[in-house]
Structure 1
């Protein structure tokens, strides 16, 4: 449903807007019954409001826990970032947040730990309270969430963690540096007590590309603060990066009506290169977001997590394809990957529908073979060898056998795979095709 993006679920079954690959999978009343009764936890076992064991995400906690276990099993990249994303939702619920700086301003807030490619390793759905991580001091809500998400990062391996000015503080970077997790982030100047950096007006007078760096050692940790003026002044704090060596970036000059080269500190280059992972993840999810309207608040979280998991799987598939040397042109796009996953889930272990009374001889009508067929067998391996619902049927139109190494012309198809296969005493490609 996320690929076609029709505004209403029932439109997939209506004659004017029918989508066969959806409507033929199950009946409308079946889909609505599944949606209406979709549960992940026993409501009778939920702790009452006010008790310490009360969980606002109790209804979806098993799903979130299962996804976290899978995400945290992925090998962690060296460069990581922490940022927030919004799950679009305009209904009434106390967990709903408003963020005017996000493309989707209303919704549930999710804090995410990801790498620069968008691969997710940990996440936390915001419920209104951010407690300190186990054994860590309380450094405020923004710092606590970074400590919680970074708890899965191994110590003493020199991972690099990036975050924006809502999270960044001196206390946070010092705690992470003690674990040998190097940090860089934009920072608010009121969190740099005693740091004498130039004012924004002074930086503006110096001109575009001007920067200044201050360095100090605090409790054995080296901290560097860099202020750089681009379109406006921005301040960064780091435990490993510095302003030098500076590079140049291309900017547009409104007065000269042309592009100019502007000095850019090294710390800014590293930050921009590694900080956009969560924003990239948001853009990938938004391409084919599952838009299913519902009065139940947790449905929005559930369908977002489904999209979350599929995008994560596609990023893993793309990483593995690159490691195996597969050319980029042969790697499936996100839309094709989603369609293949949906097709496998719909077809796996699926039995044939039978009309009227149950009979051993009644078979469902088979759709006509497409004029152009791919070189490889149509069904995926999971569907081909699931040993469920594969029956030889005779068709009027001849076709070439799709078993590798056979070029026979036959009139027999597999009822489920819709694939021409030899089925005779001399050649039994039908059996071999569904065994290997």
Structure 2
């Protein structure tokens, strides 16, 4: 995830193709519902959450799993920035399920067809390799996709719908099951980031710590809402939930101001008995430059001589008579 920042700072990063291009990068571990379990800031290429000797990508996944105290048996889905064959092997040793897309540079000696050649095959074609406890699959979709998983020992296929430009209809194409599972469960971090961006704190500051602080508040609010949805089956949307939390905090911890500000003549409550008693109600000059007429809202320098209600002279009779 990215925390938007407008000033200068040594940890400020740039990511192409993301909604937020400049800001602080955050490594995050989130469930498919958008609940973030663990996060760590990225401060450069030397950032390693744990020393594994497997590189930065695997150290991020393993480090977040350790700090979040994830028990064995949990399934992890990660994109090609983190996925390597050595990571999947290490996750297997630790008892975790692991599935992720891979870059061509991480395949090493896997005997797959070159991506440019494989892209010319019919849409839906796939090739696979079972190695040790890993299943490595390459599939031709809009582009060539490579996925590695330790949660399947056999290659199986399902069906997926894709748009056919020539026929202008939806066609059914063959899709590997591991890729279908990846598409189903991947995206929890992006979902959390989307929820945070909906009603984020919009106060801008060049203090380097302020975006991190405001983002932490927004992230905690989204986490609370995700937990509330799982408990109450989604009775409130995010905006209503934030309003409820704000009102509850004000009622519990809020205090009335020690003194009132300047009293406004428009805020004075005038009873009908005083307004319509027909005694000593005369327009008079207030001495101030402008006030707002109680009747029509226009600017005036006159008010009632008895109840001090600001009024235009032409509005005076209408306001003080039934």
What TM-score results when the alignment is normalised by the length of structure 2? Answer: 0.76
State the Cα deviation string for residues 36-90 of structure 1 (Å, max 9, x = none).
xxxxxxxxxxxxxxxxxxxxxxxxxxxxxxxxxxxxxxxxxxxxxxxxx011112
Matched residue, 1:228: 139
In structure 2, the partner of 1:341 is 245
Aligned to 1:332: 236
Residue 163 in 1 paired to residue 74 in 2?
A: no
Answer yes or no: is 1:173 the counterpart of 2:74.
no
1:105 equivalent among 14, 21, 24: 21
Give the unaligned 5+ runs of structure 1: 1-84, 323-327, 357-364, 368-436
1:145 pairs, out of 54, 60, 63, with 60
- Structure 2: how far apart are the matches of 1:248 and 1:355? 69
Q: Does 1:130 align with 2:44?
A: no
Per-residue deviation at 1:195? 0.6
Please point out which of 177, 192, 204 is paired with 1:266: 177
Aligned with residue 215 of structure 2, among 304, 309, 316: 304
Write the distance in 1 (CA, Å) between the matches of 2:2 and 2:70. 28
Structure 2: gaps (5+ residues): 261-266, 270-322
Q: 9, 28, 31: which one pairs with 1:115?
A: 31
Aligned to 2:112: 197
Partner Cα distance (1:366, 1:345) in 2: 29
1:119 deviates by 0.9
SS in structure 1 of the partner of residue 219 of structure 2: helix
Q: Identify the residue that residue 5 of structure 2 maps to in structure 1.
A: 89
Whether the 8 Å contact between 1:243 and 1:266 is mirrored in structure 2 is: no
Q: Distance in 1 between matches of 2:26 and 2:182?
A: 21
How many pairs were matched up? Answer: 261
Give the distance between the partners of 1:297 and 1:162, measured in 2 at CA: 32
Which residue of the partner structure matches residue 291 of structure 1? Answer: 202
Contact 1:132-1:138 at 8 Å conserved across structures: no
**Which of structures 1 and 2 has the bigger CA Rg?**
2
When normalised by structure 1's length, the TM-score is 0.57
Give 3-state SS (helix, strand or coil) of 1:348's partner: helix
